[in-house]
Structure 1
Amino acid sequence: MKNLEEKLRLYLVTNSDGLEESVFLRKIEEAIKGGVTIVQIREKDRSTREYIELATKVHEITRRYDVPLIVDDRIDVAMAVGAEGVHLGQSDMPVKMARDILGENVIIGATTKTVEQAREAYESGADYLGVGAIYPTTTKVKTVLTSVDTLKDICASAPIPANAIGGLAKDNLQILKGAPVAGICVVSAIMKAEDTKEAAAGLRRAYEELAV
């Protein structure tokens, strides 16, 4: 995708836990209005059919705002709903295999925690990297902390954009100062906010101030 780096600036990873579907969808739309530039739908516990049904509704929203939709883990779901991309962790389908299946026009992101993983992801055809967790997270995803020094090394090791992820919030982004990341990935700082639009706007401002 052209200008992918710009699209990565404020990357929302969704969490529907405890939310009625209408509230969940409204939060995503409000977050986009507040400045989210890309959305990843992440559903670990839904059946394939339920995942497809929800992803279809999310995609209707993201398309309206020309925001790419990335599906976490599930290449089949991404293909079924015509999502713009998939994001793969270290225990998911290998990036090279996913690239062979999806072709060149689908965005593929890869979670990396080491320079070696970053280089392998790049050489296998990944378009961007998600690096972290920078801080401990409250999501159900198992996390291993990544130092900012390692983040900087990863950014230097692969010529594709890298985003920081893991416990990031408006008031703790300073830790990333000097790291040449394309953007930040957030879950709780937006999904758990009372005012989703303002939370996204605040994060966008804080990141852009950091990047100056």
Structure 2
Amino acid sequence: MGRLWMADRFQIHLITDRKSANGAGPVSVARAALRAGVDWVQIRDKAGPARDIFDAAKGIIPDARRAGAGVLVNDRLDVAMASGADGVHLAGKSLPPETARALLGEAPLLGISVHGLGEAREAVEAGVDYVTFGHVYPTSSKPGLPPRGVVELAEIVESVDVPVLAVGGIDAGNVCEVLRT
């Protein structure tokens, strides 16, 4: 995948989450999404042990390769490296991106969640390949927190020279508004 992972088109990224998968495991959810054509699978399990996340990655990676999709591990640099994933996605309060890049090397993808323009600029200066911004719309994963909105998303997209992924509450009714940013 390398750094040529982001084409000049929109992409769909699945973020696995045990809480919202209605009891389905990340491997079965990812396989269904890969059959439907997702471009990337991000394995996220904030409370899971490293072994479970590793096993999920090892179960998903072969299917992703066959589908021409990539795999990222959320916030577990060790698991991303050990499993052969395409990269790691850092949470906002995770390892500093510079430290993660030094450990990863140049080839694997490195992304991070940001919640504003300042954080996005700092992340780009620190060497990330992409940023994820959100939540753009109201979402059940962030109850009680106001959404950031497409105006702030557009500001970040225009201000940084790496791909910006939008997350949070995006659905068929608002995806076109996101794509216009």
TM over 0.5: yes
Larger CA deviation: 166-175 vs 106-115? 166-175
Deviation string for 1:33-69 (max 9, x for gaps)? 2221011000012111222122211222212222110
Q: What is the alpha-carbon distance in structure 1 between the residues aligned to residue 79 and residue 118 of structure 2?
A: 29
Other-structure match for 1:74 = 76
Partner SS, residue 170 of structure 1: coil
Q: What is the alpha-carbon distance in structure 1 between the residues aligned to residue 179 and residue 60 of structure 2?
A: 32
Other-structure match for 1:156 = 158
Contact 2:27/2:56 (CA < 8 Å) preserved in 1?
Answer: no
Q: What is the alpha-carbon distance in structure 2 between the residues aligned to residue 27 and residue 59 of structure 1?
A: 13
Q: What is the alpha-carbon distance in structure 1 between the residues aligned to residue 144 and residue 85 of structure 2?
A: 25
The reply on whether 1:29 has 2:31 as its aligned counterpart is yes
The reply on whether 1:165 has 2:170 as its aligned counterpart is no
Q: What is the alpha-carbon distance in structure 1 between the residues aligned to residue 48 and residue 65 of structure 2?
A: 23
Instruction: Report the count of equivalent residues.
Output: 177
1:58-97 superposed matches below 5 A: 58-97=60-99
Structure 2 letter corresponding to 1:4: W
* Percent pairwise identity: 32
Other-structure match for 1:54 = 56
Larger CA deviation: 146-155 vs 12-21? 12-21
Partner SS, residue 50 of structure 1: helix
TM-score, L = length of structure 2: 0.88
TM-score, L = length of structure 1: 0.76
Match of 1:14 among 5, 12, 16: 16
**Structure 1 residues 140, 43: CA separation in 2 closer, same or farther (over 3 Å shift)?**
farther
Q: What is the alpha-carbon distance in structure 1 between the residues aligned to residue 11 and residue 153 of structure 2?
A: 16
Partner SS, residue 88 of structure 2: strand
Partner SS, residue 47 of structure 2: coil
Other-structure match for 1:3 = 4
Contact 1:155/1:162 (CA < 8 Å) preserved in 2?
Answer: yes
Other-structure match for 2:103 = 101
Deviation at 1:155, TM superposition (A): 0.9
Partner SS, residue 4 of structure 1: coil
Larger CA deviation: 25-34 vs 163-172? 25-34
Other-structure match for 2:46 = 44
